[in-house]
Structure 1
């Protein structure tokens, strides 16, 4: 498991697709859910993404924008559109809500209408502390132009939305996930970009291998010496390269990652004891685990679990 794949594990599309082949100017769709992460891509035509706080972003054919919540945003034909905003949420699929005649298929394209646009949106609920580390690396709005690796995915999306067959939603969900991965990869690798430290570190032959080992088995009794042996360098070399690329020593990184895993386990596995969670993330002593958790998270495990339950109830 690499770092990116690990952070992506709690982000999945699930029946959250909104598509339209009948958006004819003027239009203004207001996506009101405030999803933690929303992917918007245009198959044909063009429009503009207008976030709550930020400048409008043009969106042409085969271009993609990712919007980070909790703010809402508009998809409009032009920034100064005369169309009144139509509130559109997770179940926005009826024509009077800005959607289409067919929930499946969307095969009612008006041939030759140059003012129409085909918009695909995937709204992603983000579960847990793990995936939030990925969100923390993203701006409110990021944009990737056409011509990259995502174009092939969009070809598949264009073909799939034109059909009405069993299992379509499952296929569309997976295509959206694929599209999101391609989009984030290209954005992190853009010339002159400022990708998170862990992104570049994955490609270092030494530090990248150390990260893969830590993420593959975070509960193992890792030491700098054992990591150095597995990566084929001295302890001093590993420690220096790791700190240079990630800004912290290997075992400090491991502790923070273990506490992130533990935070999700405490919330997701309500019947698990603190001792059981401690063992899962590599601590034989629950007291040592609790001390480490409070040092990193600011609360002990029981307090954290209680606070998370209160937030969920609200």
Structure 2
């Protein structure tokens, strides 16, 4: 199982477009892709030039005397966000002018999702294995959760995958991943659920079972707490 492929599952484009920029503009999405089509721009003071692609976490300011930008915003899992720097920049990219053209919004969203996945895949290939996956304790636990998200995992059963005590796993997980094991599991389940709702015809009940919930009612309540919308609304808009 490739940990990077697992992390990149569930990437969703929420908006796409071109942005003419003269001066300063604030962006507020949780993850934004910026590629200059003309001119250059500074993102939180980091320079990004023609031929670069930048991916930025959280709110940020873009500043330029005169630039035209390709802009995509995304919804991704917390597990992926936690591994990314505030701003990452890749250079040597091809001309992206043709990737945005009038047409189907669905097609545009898929193209921008592809662009983000390719960009992050290239960036991860330059890095070490994502945090935790090569750890002797956390590696088996992460692989087990990602391979079988529908299994009724408990802290005890996850600790059994690593052959350690519950307290050892909990402490190690928080130290490396920044959150408890079961919180990470919920994040992964919700990311996978959103992907299944958007890309399959499975019923809400079927999706619930695939991600570890006994019934559609409990799953729907958990999904709405997590995303702020119901599974049915996600199916229409994700």
Answering whether residue 180 of structure 2 is matched by residue 249 of structure 1, we say yes
Local SS of the residue matching 2:89: strand
- Aligned-partner Cα distance in 1 for 2:134–2:213: 29
User: Deviations 1:124-151 (Å, cap 9, x if unpaired)?
Assistant: x898745994598354442589xxxxxx
1:204-215 alignment runs, 5 A limit: 204-215=135-146
Q: Which of 159, 167, 185 is 1:236 aligned to?
A: 167
Which of the pair has more CA radius of gyration? 1
1:208 deviates by 2.1
- Aligned-partner Cα distance in 2 for 1:185–1:38: 20
Q: Which residue of 1 aligns with 2:124?
A: 184
- Aligned-partner Cα distance in 1 for 2:226–2:196: 16
1:261-280 alignment runs, 5 A limit: 261-269=192-200, 271-280=201-210
Kindly report the root-mean-square deviation, in angstroms, between the aligned alpha carbons of the 2 structures.
4.6
Check 1:247–1:55 CA distance in 2 against 1; reply closer, same or farther (3 A cut): closer
Q: Which residue of 1 aligns with 2:149?
A: 218
User: Deviations 1:36-91 (Å, cap 9, x if unpaired)?
Assistant: 65789xxxxxxx982364453579xxxx954237x9x9xxxxx99xxx98x798xx
Q: If the length of structure 1 is used for normalisation, what is the TM-score?
A: 0.48
Contact 1:39/1:67, CA 8 A, preserved across alignment: yes
Contact 1:239/1:250, CA 8 A, preserved across alignment: yes
- Aligned-partner Cα distance in 2 for 1:127–1:268: 16
Answering whether residue 67 of structure 2 is matched by residue 67 of structure 1, we say no
Structure that is richer in strand per residue: 2
Check 1:304–1:10 CA distance in 2 against 1; reply closer, same or farther (3 A cut): closer
- Aligned-partner Cα distance in 1 for 2:74–2:49: 30
Check 1:68–1:127 CA distance in 2 against 1; reply closer, same or farther (3 A cut): closer
- Aligned-partner Cα distance in 2 for 1:200–1:49: 35
State the aligned residue count: 198
Which sections of structure 2, spanning at least 5 residues, go unmatched? 12-16, 21-31, 93-116
1:281 deviates by 1.1
Answering whether residue 6 of structure 2 is matched by residue 6 of structure 1, we say yes
Q: Which residue of 1 aligns with 2:41?
A: 51
Check 1:55–1:206 CA distance in 2 against 1; reply closer, same or farther (3 A cut): closer
- Aligned-partner Cα distance in 2 for 1:88–1:288: 42
- Aligned-partner Cα distance in 1 for 2:224–2:69: 41
Check 1:300–1:133 CA distance in 2 against 1; reply closer, same or farther (3 A cut): same
